[in-house]
Amino acid sequence: MRPDDGRLSDEGLAPEGAGRVRLIACGALAHEILALKRANGWEYLDLQCLPANLHLRPEKIVEAVEAAVRAADGPVFVVYADCGTGGALERKCRELGVEMIEGPHCYSFFEGNAAFAAHADDEFTAFYLTDFLVRQFEAFVWRPMGLDRHPELRDMYFGHYTKLVYQAQTEDPALDAKAQDCAARLGLAYERRFTGYGDLSVRLAELRP
């Protein structure tokens, strides 16, 4: 299975053994985590992805993460931010005795939590997309909101937004062009902001056994 198609994926799992850390991660982060593993030689990180479409039902995230943590052997690190759980995921991770990546959502930790927080008050009318969401715009934005069937709903959903900010993890002209098209379809001004992997890279680097 492809790691970015919204389904459970074991792609990228390395052989288990002593000194390894299992990452229980959102499927929307699989591509980025695998890229960081390859680039940095982090072969001791074993990746388990939960379905990316849990973001459409954030009330199910805590239950899914808990089940994965309880089924895992050895050290675990949860690669989810709060992701709309209202602090419930952090409380559950604390109860389970496992750590998770800091931040309210991936937009924040990709940019860097401190940097994102510094301008959050000035960007409350910004709609954010990551590399994953640009690739999966139809599946995670357009169709779930019913815009494929009722495009007239666009102004109701996005009338209070002023711009689309594409947080680019990679330098990819094709993704940039697609992100611009997403902004046009939503009737929003376009801004591309290269973030790279932000705090995700920093935090995973700290997991060396």
Q: Looking at the structure, tell me whether residues 96 and 118 fall in a common domain.
A: no
- 97: which 2 tokens? 């005795």
The tens digit of pLDDT for each residue in 145-188 reads: 999 999 999 999 999 999 999 999 999 999 999 999 999 999 99
Of all residues in the chain, what percent carry a pLDDT higher than 90? 88
Q: Looking at the structure, tell me whether residues 117 and 79 fall in a common domain.
A: no
Q: Looking at the structure, tell me whether residues 117 and 73 fall in a common domain.
A: no
Within-domain flag for 8: no
**C-alpha torsion angle, residues 179, 185, 188, 189 (rounded to 10):** 50
Measured CA to CA in angstroms, residue 208 lies from 17, 37, 71, 97 at distances of 14, 12, 22, 18
Q: Looking at the structure, tell me whether residues 100 and 30 fall in a common domain.
A: yes
Q: Looking at the structure, tell me whether residues 99 and 67 fall in a common domain.
A: yes
Q: Looking at the structure, tell me whether residues 42 and 25 fall in a common domain.
A: yes
Q: Looking at the structure, tell me whether residues 135 and 148 fall in a common domain.
A: yes
Which carries the bigger pLDDT value, residue 162 or residue 16? 162
Q: Looking at the structure, tell me whether residues 25 and 68 fall in a common domain.
A: yes
Which pTM value belongs to this model?
0.88
Our count of domains for the chain comes to: 2
Alpha-helical regions (H) of the chain? 30-40, 61-71, 88-96, 106-111, 113-119, 131-135, 137, 154-158, 173-186, 198-205
Within-domain flag for 13: no
Domain that holds residue 48: 21-107+197-205
Q: Looking at the structure, tell me whether residues 54 and 72 fall in a common domain.
A: yes
Asked whether the predicted pLDDT for residue 11 surpasses 50, the reply is: no
Q: Looking at the structure, tell me whether residues 151 and 138 fall in a common domain.
A: yes
